[in-house]
């Protein structure tokens, strides 16, 4: 009831919003005439696309004929393009799509059909029969036009009776992939439309009472599935795949039952190689409740597919099935088996028979297939990378519908990584072959390390943690580890260190943890001195991550502080590479939480103390020639302020003030934006501290106390010189800065001017202050065009005077400014009127030239 009540109102508003303005209606005939003029050079494609977008909007909420009736130029345009002996492909394509958009409503369809325009455009004797059909843009325009139009039965009948279906089926095999895919989508759409708009009673397998159009399509699908042409079969499988992916109606099952046998035969068919298409089809079906919830043959087919498809083809199907929550348990186990088979094979190849239990009790398909894929140089890395990517996908799910054998999986991953760095002497011939292929294979290393990282969050793989760290440390230490692999190793190591800490808290593995941490910091120390900047950078990132996750752990803090790492990190603040300096800033900033800001951790004796570090960071903020390090500094300062660390450091007010004065002239807008964020945090903390009521509706118990409070915080803000930066930022040439400044000022305004008091305080009088405020308002109206924004008080506004600022906050139309800033900068250029003028402008120059000629 509520919806039907709201609908007319909503539609009316939408129609109003998207209706054609008078100005546009006046321009349109000239535009149409210009576009249909073959003498004109081809119009800019983007203009035509925008024009179509506009028509799409115009017709979206209006199904009446008004648009075409009021603008006869549209029909004339189509007629004149059709009359052209050799229309340009782009104009013809545009015309087809435009006609489709207009004919999307039945009323306008009938209107256009009065002159048989649509039959001429989309019928068999239209463009498909002409020379321009060679051009892919025309074919694409035709398919899109039909798709645009295809919303009602008359359109369906036009196509079906005019031979259009044949054209679309042919286009499925079009050399242009865009056209082929659009044709396939169109068929799906037509089939769905036909069945859903023309059927009155539910369909069943027994009566094949499909509507005429649907029947034609289904017949074609069935025929091509039975043909011996692989490309025809592929097209039909693609069509069914997208049909089952988009349509979840019960009739799809009826359709399926007609083709199921044939499709099932493809699994074992040797002559037609279409198996690779089946995984996607079955997956889409598995997501559809129509098939998923049946007890019947569907799951048997999936089982058979898992058995018959090659491991590479079956992988995506298996992982898709494992992501389903509704799936028979035996199918799930089988999918898991398919997925784990390569990992199992690796484990068996590396170990003596019966040494480990392996991953699987039995395999679904012949293990020989997997073994042969793994022992071939061309397929080994591909199969492993695919399997590992699937495993990572699975592990990233928060709720896994199936239990993975984590310990064996971890062992298998470790085996792969050992193969890759040549540490493992395999016990079997297969192992030697795999080892030969995998040595120094970075792709596999990266994928395996990703899975390893993901596995750290799963319980049950802790028994191997000692040997796992041996392996990770070997990777971290080896000079042969490539920088990208090293980065992944760092990621995996940090995750497992967190896990290790959790374990060490719960049992007595303290000593092991201590030793591992010591080794990690030793190797980190070396990596921080690497000549390769990527390595130094990822080492610093690793350190930051470690501190973030583990800074509360005593063992971690002690190991870190007793190593050389803090000193080397501070050295890197002067690295020649700006990314490294930025990462060093972030690391030093986090390190400070342990060294300087944590009350229980006295500073370890080295030449750096907190004053030096802060001074160093401020120096970077004011002098570093690159943006990244400066951005990093301001982010760290924000972090410190948020965590209340600056209070122990010095008077926060002075700190903020100094930082703001450094960043307000920074050339990098992100640094200035950071400065505003710092102000925002500072303001809210100050207001909280001084106890100003946050809620404007809260009863003000005593106007006097309240005013004292705001007075005090306002004074703090003025002293810290925040306002000059805030107001200047409103005119910043980089929009995000202006928006942020406006948000901050609005926040302050709402604090200092509760709604009830707003009106009364806006009077500024005629005083000098009043003139100043008026100047400010004028200047702010110019926005980013405002030149010179003096904040020294020379214009009558003293940005450090609380009274002045109070008045300014009240007087400046911040809300209006907010809307202005949030409007996109091309809102004028984007209007349809401007678009039409643009098109005419290009035409205009030609007309002028013509005039010159005469």
Partner 1 sequence: FFQYCLSGHPTLPCNVLKFKSTTIMLDCGLDMTSTLNFLPLPLVQSPRLSKLPGWVLKDGSTFLDKELKECSGHVFVDSVPEFCLPETELLDLSTVDVILISNYHCMMALPYITEYTGFTGTVYATEPTVQIGRLLMEELVNSIERVPKAQSASMWKNKEVQRLLPAPLKDAVEVSMWRKCYTMPEVNAALSKIQLVGYSQKIELFGAVQVTPLSSGYALGSSNWIIQSHYEKVSYVSGSSLLTTHPQPMDQASLKNSDVLILTGLTQIPTANPDGMVGEFCSNLAMTVRNGGNVLVPCYPSGVIYDLLECLYQYIDSAGLSNVPFYFISPVANSSLEFSQIFAEWLCHNKQTKVYLPEPPFPHAELIQTNKLKHYPSIHGDFSNDFKQPCVVFTGHPSLRFGDVVHFMELWGKSSLNTVIFTEPDFSYLDALAPYQPLAMKCVYCPIDTRLNFIQVSKLLKEVQPLHVVCPEQYTQPPPTQSHRTDLMIDCQPPPMSYRRAEVLTLPYKRRYEKIEIMPELADSLVPLEIKPGISLATVSAMLHTKDNKHVLQLPPKPPQPPASKKRKRVSDDVPECKPLKPLLSGSIPVDQFVQTLEKHGFSDVKVEDTAKGHIVLLQEAETLIQIEEDSTHIICDNDEPLRVKLRDLVLKFLQKF
Determine if 576 is a binding residue for partner 1 (CB under 8 A): yes
Site for partner 1 in 293-312 (CB under 8 A): none
Nearest CB to partner 1, comparing residues 480 and 694: 480
Distance CA 779, CA 763 (A): 19
The radius of gyration of the chain's CA atoms, rounded to the nearest angstrom, is: 35
DSSP summary character for residue 421: T
With respect to partner 1, which residue has the nearer C-beta, 526 or 709? 526
Are the CB atoms for 573 and 591 separated by under 8 Å? no
Least CB distance from residue 480 to partner 1, whole Å? 5
Nearer to partner 1, 541 or 680 (CB): 541
- Of 530 and 750, nearer to partner 1 (C-beta) is 530
485 versus 737: smaller Cβ distance to partner 1:
485
The site map against partner 1 for 363-402 (x = CB under 8 A) is: ----------------------------------------
The token pair at 78 is 């189509």
Q: Residue 422 Cβ, how far from partner 1 at the closest point, in Å?
A: 6
Least distance to partner 1 from the beta carbon of 532, Å? 6
Q: Which residue reads 């990621």 in tokens?
A: 491
Q: To the nearest whole angstrom, how small is the minimum distance from the Cβ of residue 482 to partner 1?
A: 8
CA pair distance 453, 417, nearest whole angstrom: 13
Closer Cβ to partner 1, 304 or 578, answer by number: 578
- For partner 1, the closer of residues 178 and 423 by Cβ is 423
User: Least distance to partner 1 from the beta carbon of 169, Å?
Assistant: 48
The residue among 578, 564, 552, 555 whose CA lies nearest residue 527 is 564
Nearest to 661 by CA among 696, 618, 695, 629: 618
Instruction: Report which DSSP code applies to 574.
Output: G
Residue range at the interface with partner 1 (CB under 8 A); choices 285-293, 298-306, 332-340, 570-578 = 570-578
532 binds partner 1 (CB under 8 A): yes
Residue 635 CB, nearest approach to partner 1 (Å): 24
- Rounded to 5 degrees, φ, ψ at 700 are -85, 110
Among 560, 568, 621, 811, binds partner 1 (CB under 8 A): 568
**Does 571 help bind partner 1 (rule: CB under 8 A)?**
yes
- At CB < 8 A and 24+ separation, what contacts does 21-26 make? 21/832, 21/833, 23/833, 24/832, 24/833, 24/836, 25/70, 25/71
> Smallest gap, in angstroms, from Cβ of residue 483 to partner 1?
9
The stretch near partner 1 (CB under 8 A) out of 176-184, 293-301, 303-311, 520-528 is 520-528
Stretch that binds partner 1, among 386-394, 473-481, 603-611, 622-630 (CB under 8 A): 473-481
DSSP per-residue letters across 757-805: HHGGGG--TTSHHHHHHHHHHHHHHTGGG------SSTTS--TT-HHHH
Residue 147 or 527 with smaller CB distance to partner 1: 527
Judged by CB under 8 A, the number of residues near partner 1 is: 29
**365: which DSSP letter?**
S
As given in the structure block, the two tokens for residue 767 are: 């005083």
Q: Which residues contact 747 (CB under 8 A, 6 or more apart)?
A: 680, 683, 684
Q: Could you tell me which stretch among 71-79, 571-579, 584-592, 837-845 binds partner 1 (CB under 8 A)? A: 571-579
Our CB check for partner 1 shows the closer of 154 and 422 to be: 422
Helix spans in 572-702 (H): 578-595, 610-623, 627-642, 646-649, 652-663, 669-690
The CA distance from 683 to 745, in Å, is 10
Nearer to partner 1, 229 or 440 (CB): 440
Instruction: Please say which residue, 351 or 686, places its beta carbon nearer to partner 1.
Output: 351
Residues 479-518 that bind partner 1 (CB under 8 A): 479-481
Instruction: Output 502 or 619, the one with its CB closest to partner 1.
Output: 619
Least separation in angstroms between residue 631's CB and partner 1 is: 21
- Are the CB atoms for 291 and 253 separated by under 8 Å? yes
Interface with partner 1 includes 564 (CB under 8 A)? yes
Q: Which of the stretches 357-365, 450-458, 526-534, 706-714 binds partner 1 when contact is defined by CB under 8 A?
A: 526-534
Tell whether residue 574 is a contact of partner 1 (CB under 8 A).
yes
Q: Which is nearer to partner 1, 417 or 692 (CB)?
A: 417
**Cβ 474 to partner 1 shortest distance, Å:** 13
Q: Tell me if 519 contacts partner 1 by CB under 8 A.
A: no
Structure tokens at 655: 């700190």
Taking CA atoms, 488 is separated from 500, 502, 678, in Å, by: 18, 22, 33
* CA distance linking residue 315 with residue 327, whole number of Å: 17
Q: Which is nearer to partner 1, 15 or 443 (CB)?
A: 443
Report 404-463 residues binding partner 1 (CB under 8 A): 422, 424-426, 432, 435-436, 439
- 770 within 8 A of 706, measured Cβ to Cβ: no
Closest-CA residue to 719 (of 654, 649, 810, 647) = 654
Q: Residue 45 Cβ, how far from partner 1 at the closest point, in Å?
A: 45
Residues 374/349, Cβ–Cβ less than 8 Å: yes
The least distance separating partner 1 from the CB of residue 580, rounded to whole angstroms, comes to 9
Contact 315, 339 (CB under 8 A): yes
In angstroms, the first-to-last Cα distance of the chain is 67
Q: How far is the CB of 425 from partner 1 (least distance, A)?
A: 3
Q: What does the DSSP assignment read for 94-152?
A: HHHHHHHHHTTSHHHHHHHHTTTHHHHHHSTTSGGGSGGGGSHHHHHHHHHHHHHH-SS
Total residues belonging to the chain:
854
Number of neighbouring beta carbons within 10 Å of residue 113? 16
Q: Does 531 bind partner 1 (CB under 8 A)?
A: yes
Point out which residues bind partner 1 (CB under 8 A).
422, 424-426, 432, 435-436, 439, 478-481, 525-527, 529-533, 535, 564, 567-568, 571, 574-577
């Amino acid at each position: 009831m509520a919806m039907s009540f709201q609908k007319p109102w909503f539609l009316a508003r939408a129609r109003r919003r998207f209706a054609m303005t008078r100005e546009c209606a006046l321009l349109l005939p000239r535009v149409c005439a210009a576009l249909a003029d073959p003498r004109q050079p081809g119009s800019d494609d983007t203009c035509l696309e925008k024009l179509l977008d506009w028509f799409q909007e115009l017709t979206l909420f209006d199904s009446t004929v008004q648009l075409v009736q009021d603008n006869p130029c549209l029909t004339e345009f189509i007629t004149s393009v059709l009359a052209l002996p050799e229309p340009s492909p782009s104009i013809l394509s545009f015309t087809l799509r435009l006609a489709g958009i207009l004919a999307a409503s039945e009323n306008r369809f009938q209107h256009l059909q009065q002159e048989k325009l649509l039959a001429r455009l989309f019928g068999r004797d239209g463009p498909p029969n002409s020379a321009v059909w060679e051009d892919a843009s025309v074919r694409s325009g035709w398919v899109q036009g039909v798709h645009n139009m295809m919303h009602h039965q008359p359109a369906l009948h036009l196509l079906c009776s005019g031979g259009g279906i044949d054209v679309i089926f042919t286009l499925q095999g079009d050399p242009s992939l865009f056209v082929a895919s659009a044709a396939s989508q169109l068929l799906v759409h037509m089939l769905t439309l036909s069945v859903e708009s023309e059927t009155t009673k539910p369909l069943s397998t027994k009566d094949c009472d499909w509507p005429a159009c649907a029947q034609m399509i289904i017949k074609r699908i069935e025929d091509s599935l039975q043909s011996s042409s692989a490309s025809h079969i592929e097209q039909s499988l693609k069509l069914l795949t997208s049909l089952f992916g988009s349509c979840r109606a019960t009739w799809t099952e009826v359709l399926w039952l007609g083709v199921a046998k044939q499709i099932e035969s493809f699994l074992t068919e040797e002559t037609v190689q279409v198996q690779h298409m089946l995984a996607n089809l079955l997956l889409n079906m598995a997501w559809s409740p129509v098939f998923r919830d049946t007890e019947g043959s569907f799951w048997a087919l999936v089982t058979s597919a898992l058995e018959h498809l090659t491991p590479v083809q079956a992988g995506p199907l298996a992982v898709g099935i494992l992501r389903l929550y509704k799936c028979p348990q035996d199918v799930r186990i089988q999918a898991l088996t398919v997925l784990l088979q390569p990992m199992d094979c690796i484990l068996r190849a590396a170990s003596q028979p019966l040494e480990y239990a392996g991953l699987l009790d039995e395999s679904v398909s012949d293990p020989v297939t997997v073994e042969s894929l793994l022992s071939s140089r061309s397929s080994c890395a591909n199969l492993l990378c695919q399997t590992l990517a699937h495993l990572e996908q699975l592990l990233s799910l928060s709720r896994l519908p199936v239990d993975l054998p984590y310990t064996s999986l971890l062992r298998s991953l470790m085996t792969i990584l050992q193969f890759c760095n040549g540490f493992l002497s395999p016990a079997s011939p297969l192992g030697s072959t795999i080892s030969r292929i995998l040595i120094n294979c970075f792709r596999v290393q990266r994928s395996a390390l990703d899975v390893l990282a993901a596995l750290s969050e799963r319980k049950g793989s802790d028994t191997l943690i000692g040997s796992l760290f041996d392996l990770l440390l070997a990777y971290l230490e080896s000079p042969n580890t490539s920088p990208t692999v090293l980065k992944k190793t760092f990621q995996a190591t940090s995750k497992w260190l967190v896990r290790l800490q959790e374990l060490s808290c719960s049992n007595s593995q303290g000593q092991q943890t201590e030793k591992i941490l010591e080794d990690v910091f030793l190797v980190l120390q070396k990596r921080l001195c690497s000549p390769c900047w990527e390595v130094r950078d990822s080492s610093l990132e690793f350190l930051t991550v470690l501190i973030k996750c583990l800074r509360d752990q005593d063992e971690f803090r002690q190991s870190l502080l007793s190593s050389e790492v803090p000193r080397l990190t501070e050295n890197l603040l002067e690295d020649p590479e700006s990314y490294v300096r930025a990462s060093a800033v972030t690391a030093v900033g986090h390190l400070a939480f342990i060294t300087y800001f944590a009350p229980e951790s006295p500073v370890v004796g080295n030449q750096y103390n907190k004053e030096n570090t802060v001074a160093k960071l401020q120096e970077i903020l004011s002098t570093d020639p690159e943006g990244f390090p400066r951005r990093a500094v301001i982010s760290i300062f924000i972090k410190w302020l948020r965590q209340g660390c600056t209070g122990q450091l010095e008077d926060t007010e002075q700190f903020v003030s100094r930082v703001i004065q450094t960043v307000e002239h920074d050339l990098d807008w992100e640094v200035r934006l950071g400065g505003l964020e710092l102000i925002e945090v500072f303001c809210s903390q100050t207001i909280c501290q001084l106890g100003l009521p946050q809620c404007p509706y809260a009863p003000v118990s005593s106007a006097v106390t309240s005013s004292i409070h705001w007075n005090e915080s306002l004074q703090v803000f003025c002293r810290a010189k925040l306002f000059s930066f805030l107001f200047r930022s409103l005119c910043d040439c980089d929009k995000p800065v202006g928006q942020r400044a406006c948000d901050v000022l609005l926040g302050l305004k709402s604090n200092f001017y509760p709604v009830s008091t707003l009106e009364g305080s806006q009077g500024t009088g005629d005083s000098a202050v009043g003139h100043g405020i008026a100047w400010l308002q004028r200047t702010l109206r110019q926005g980013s065009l405002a030149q010179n924004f003096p904040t020294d008080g020379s214009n009558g506004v003293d940005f450090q005077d609380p009274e002045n600022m109070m008045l300014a906050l009240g007087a400046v139309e911040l809300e209006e400014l907010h809307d202005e800033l949030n409007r996109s900068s091309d809102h004028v250029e984007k209007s349809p009127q401007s678009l039409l003028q643009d098109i005419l402008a290009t035409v205009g120059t030609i007309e002028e030239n013509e005039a010159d000629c005469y």
